[in-house]
Amino acid sequence: MEIASWNVNSVKARLSAITTWLDEAKPDIVCLQETKTVDAGFPLEAFEERGYNVAVHGQKSYNGVALLSKYPFEEINARLPGDEDDPQARYLEAVIAGQNGPVRVASIYLPNGNPTQNPDGEPGHHPKYAYKLAWMERLRVHTARLLKFEEPLILAGDYNVIPTKDDVYDAALWADNALFLPQTHAAFNALKWLGLTSAYEQVDGRPHQYTYWDFQGGAWPKNHGIRIDHLLLSGQAADQLKAVRIDSHVRGRERPSDHVPIIGQFEL
DNA sequence: ATGTCGCGTGAAACGCGA
């Protein structure tokens, strides 16, 4: 079973890029982020005609997550618990009926968190960075509950976290960025220390393999990338992980997203 | 190079978020 994660930066603008890749890669499950549409505007047919069940959780203009699955959904939960008033569509979780039993998969669009400093120079964090850290803590608390099911769990998405200096083309340029600050690393580690394994690090782990290249400044031709899209796995999922790949070639195509798909291959 | 995108508004060019 192949499970992919891809921040597509608008599902409508990227529909042709997505279907081209689906027809080549034929993943079983895909977690999409930054779909940027309300659910009524989601192009369901393009995916249904390729044999995918589709679950969506979107909003107007920004954010938005979705799940595509060749296997049936047994249960679907939108929204990350911990703040009932949070209007941002960044979390969609489903239990999927795999061939060897259920698999729980979540599509995650973790907040970017920039800017980090208050604009008035007052001490403390900008509300955008505070929201990121609070969201990461909500994810940690929710994940602790999910791990009690002791089932294959795959938390896949755009984490907006650069795990180490070897996951960015020039760490010094990112030192003060919300994707790389010590508190961001601390929150990411607190999540992983619940007992999650990062799929890429388990089976590959080469430095300087990126999943995102900015649209600005010729980042793609210069390979000025960062690795911020991750598959975090419970032990039951990690035990079945065979391979991981990053389909970086799609970044060089017509009207690309700024992110590329990361795909885990599992015996599930 | 202050070098790019997509979205919504509203009818072109701008503000926002990334």
**Looking at residue A105, which CATH number applies to its domain?**
3.60.10.10
pLDDT digits (tens, 9 = 90+) for A196-241: 999 999 999 999 999 999 999 999 999 999 999 999 999 999 999 9
Phi, then psi, of A66 in degrees rounded to 5: -150, 160
* Total domains present in chain A: 1
Average of per-residue pLDDT values in chain A: 97
Flag whether pLDDT at A36 surpasses 90: yes
| The pair of three-digit structure tokens given for residue A63, joined into one six-digit string | 């954010």
pLDDT digits (tens, 9 = 90+) for A85-116: 999 999 999 999 999 999 999 999 999 999 99
The separation, in Å, between residue A15 CA and nucleotide B6 C1' comes to 13
> Which of these, A208, A244, A2, lies nearest to A103 by C-alpha position?
A2
Closest nucleotide to residue A11 (Cα to C1')?
B6
| The pair of three-digit structure tokens given for residue A15, joined into one six-digit string | 């529909």
Peptide bond into A152 cis (omega under 30): no
Place A123 in a pLDDT band, splitting at 50, 70 and 90: confident
Find the mean pLDDT for residues A109-127: 85
The separation, in Å, between residue A158 CA and nucleotide B12 C1' comes to 34
Phi, then psi, of A14 in degrees rounded to 5: -105, 10
Range of A150's domain?
A: 2-266
Whole-prediction pTM: 0.97
User: How would DSSP label each residue in A111-136?
Assistant: ------B-TT--SSB-HHHHHHHHHH
SS3 A13: coil
Place A121 in a pLDDT band, splitting at 50, 70 and 90: low
Q: How far apart (Å, rounded) are the C-alpha atoms in residues A14 and A189?
A: 32
Flag whether pLDDT at A56 surpasses 90: yes
What are the counts of helices (DSSP H) followed by strands (DSSP E) for chain A? 6, 14
Q: Which residue places its CA closest to the C1' of nucleotide B5?
A: A215
Cβ pair A230, A262 in contact under 8 A: yes
The separation, in Å, between residue A13 CA and nucleotide B12 C1' comes to 21
The separation, in Å, between residue A101 CA and nucleotide B13 C1' comes to 54
Q: How far apart (Å, rounded) are the C-alpha atoms in residues A228 and A259?
A: 9
SS3 A147: helix
The separation, in Å, between residue A100 CA and nucleotide B6 C1' comes to 40
The separation, in Å, between residue A73 CA and nucleotide B2 C1' comes to 48
Closest nucleotide to residue A41 (Cα to C1')?
B7
The separation, in Å, between residue A61 CA and nucleotide B8 C1' comes to 7
Q: Which residue places its CA closest to the C1' of nucleotide B2?
A: A217
Flag whether pLDDT at A119 surpasses 80: no
Place A187 in a pLDDT band, splitting at 50, 70 and 90: very high
Find the mean pLDDT for residues A23-40: 98
Detail the protein residues whose CB sits closer than 7 A to any atom belonging to strand B: A 9-10, 12-13, 36-37, 60-63, 111-112, 114, 128, 215-218, 255
Flag whether pLDDT at A124 surpasses 80: no
Q: Which residue places its CA closest to the C1' of nucleotide B1?
A: A217
Flag whether pLDDT at A50 surpasses 80: yes
Place A118 in a pLDDT band, splitting at 50, 70 and 90: confident
